[in-house]
Chains A and B, each alone.
Chain A
């Protein structure tokens, strides 16, 4: 059996990408918080065909999350304020992770904390857990008032978290950047200097919606994070700028709904792409993106996915 898989994999090695020391069999993964822990979408697609899975953000202790409404649709997008509802790292390890052990699928655990120490402790704990392939560090979640926002918006704190997490783990460390900053490049540079192995960008854009009949904010948390097609140009710009400034692999995300969207991110400099809110609309979006990337390579005479990463930078 493993022989069959190995040869099938080898035949598709032109799709293999590396995110630090993490090897993905293809460049398509999912965005944290939009794909649960795996079982939610397993009825609709073969999870083994994903390059990796990024699970919902995990904190040290369980979190109840924000009051409702937690989500509202906006033009070609979604505003959410989930507030990092999650079972905490202990229950994540015992209750959610075992399901994924049955798959040939690298598990990237997204972590969030209130203090830099929280991140370090999460990293330490998850590094001792079988079945965790990499850590994605959410320093940019706009929903938690005291935590995420400060780390992501201040290059020095972002660097401190990066350094502490790197000291606490042997796993590849992917730092997920926030677009809600004056200069995402400045944060990326600091984080890279602090030892990050890769970057994910972007997290959601801070926004809000008001119900004009009730004359109050729609979301229970007042502010939320914008995602979906509406944010794609902003996300693409972030990938473009960061690629020019730092040499780290980038997982690009923000509004990807099709292969064409994903290819734009690759051409802008992403090594891999993550599909987020589009999963809600089309649970097969990742599969369509993957198939479309393969055809694009074939039709345009590329032998390897790595040939197109950042290619648009050569054509200006």
Chain B
């Protein structure tokens, strides 16, 4: 089920420079949403900027009918969104897309996040905790101040391994390097879940392949409709000789790591 509705803002908060958490009253969406799914958010109200912006569902509070988003100001649309205050309506379309598959057993999983990639992964970590699944979370960010949700994730019973580009906290370097070193010691994970910038995901897919484990990645592409109608958001999937373009908005955004072709 997917909905088109105006949701009232219950809270909007800056939780770091250029990073915002937005809570919206949308009981139907909260009830239907699964980790990895996203919303098409109308950031403005005029004809320019024109399109909606895809934002992942960061958390839901089904009891109070609330949906939380976590976003980084990237340009005009997200900048406009920061201007909206408590009580104002925001037009939402969703939940959209195919999310992460939840593990069938309680075996340990790994979650690898780069930057804003934590937005959908945090929702996944919340659900994993409900199912009694523990995760090793490799949390990558530019700097210590951007290691969002660290305390909350630990509170859910998961283990957090931070990595920062500037070395201000945890491992000094790429989160994928930290993860690869870790895999070399122990790769006993039932599933690897990942989300982050393109280059990071590509490297993560290589590591997943190298160790022969199962993995799921949440991809990003520029979107027009978000519902599968315009064919603008495609990614390459398949294998040499049988390459296929698939829609990130409906057949993804989460894909099995081995299916994505990084051209």
> Pick the contact of A280 from B1, B2, B226 — CB < 8 Å?
B226
Q: Which residues of B contact A (CB under 8 A)?
A: 1-2, 4, 42, 47-52, 91, 93, 221-235, 243-245, 250
Q: Which of A40-48, A119-127, A194-202 contacts B (4 or more CB under 8 A)?
A: A40-48
Q: Which residues of A contact B (CB under 8 A)?
A: 33-36, 40-41, 43-44, 56, 64-65, 68-73, 75-78, 80, 82, 85, 228-229, 257, 277, 279-284
> Pick the contact of B228 from A40, A44, A70 — CB < 8 Å?
A40
CB pair B234–A280 under 8 Å, yes or no, is: no
CB pair B235–A78 under 8 Å, yes or no, is: no
**Contacts A43-B1, A73-B50: A280 and B225 contacting too (C-beta < 8 A)?**
yes
CB pair B52–A281 under 8 Å, yes or no, is: yes
On chain B, the residues within 8 Å of A281 by CB distance are 42, 50-52
Given pairs A33-B231, A279-B225, 9 additional interface contacts (CB within 8 A): A36-B227, A43-B2, A68-B222, A71-B222, A77-B50, A78-B51, A85-B245, A228-B50, A277-B50
CB pair B51–A280 under 8 Å, yes or no, is: yes
> Pick the contact of A56 from B1, B47, B52, B231 — CB < 8 Å?
B231
> Pick the contact of B51 from A33, A34, A43, A73 — CB < 8 Å?
A73
Count of chain A to chain B residue pairs whose CB atoms are closer than 8 Å in the complex: 96
Smallest CB separation, A186 vs chain B (Å): 31
The B interface is mostly helix, strand or loop, or mixed, namely loop
How far, in angstroms, from A40 to B243 measured CA to CA in the complex? 24
A85, closest chain B residue (CB): B231
CB pair A41–B48 under 8 Å, yes or no, is: no
How far, in angstroms, from A33 to B228 measured CA to CA in the complex? 11
CB pair B234–A70 under 8 Å, yes or no, is: yes
**Contacts A34-B225, A69-B222: A283 and B4 contacting too (C-beta < 8 A)?**
yes
**Contacts A41-B229, A281-B42: A68 and B51 contacting too (C-beta < 8 A)?**
no
CB pair A284–B4 under 8 Å, yes or no, is: yes
The 5 closest A-B pairs by CB, nearest first: A71-B232, A36-B229, A40-B229, A76-B48, A280-B225
CB pair A68–B4 under 8 Å, yes or no, is: no
Smallest CB separation, A223 vs chain B (Å): 15
**Contacts A40-B227, A82-B230: A70 and B50 contacting too (C-beta < 8 A)?**
no
On chain A, the residues within 8 Å of B225 by CB distance are 34, 36, 40, 279-280
On chain B, the residues within 8 Å of A277 by CB distance are 50, 224
CB pair B230–A34 under 8 Å, yes or no, is: yes
CB pair A70–B51 under 8 Å, yes or no, is: no
CB pair B224–A71 under 8 Å, yes or no, is: yes
Interchain Cβ contacts under 8 Å between A and B, 5 examples: A43-B2, A71-B224, A277-B50, A279-B229, A280-B52
How far, in angstroms, from A75 to B44 measured CA to CA in the complex? 13
How far, in angstroms, from A296 to B233 measured CA to CA in the complex? 37
How far, in angstroms, from A77 to B47 measured CA to CA in the complex? 8
CB pair A71–B2 under 8 Å, yes or no, is: no
A70, closest chain B residue (CB): B232
Smallest CB separation, B20 vs chain A (Å): 21
How far, in angstroms, from A64 to B234 measured CA to CA in the complex? 10
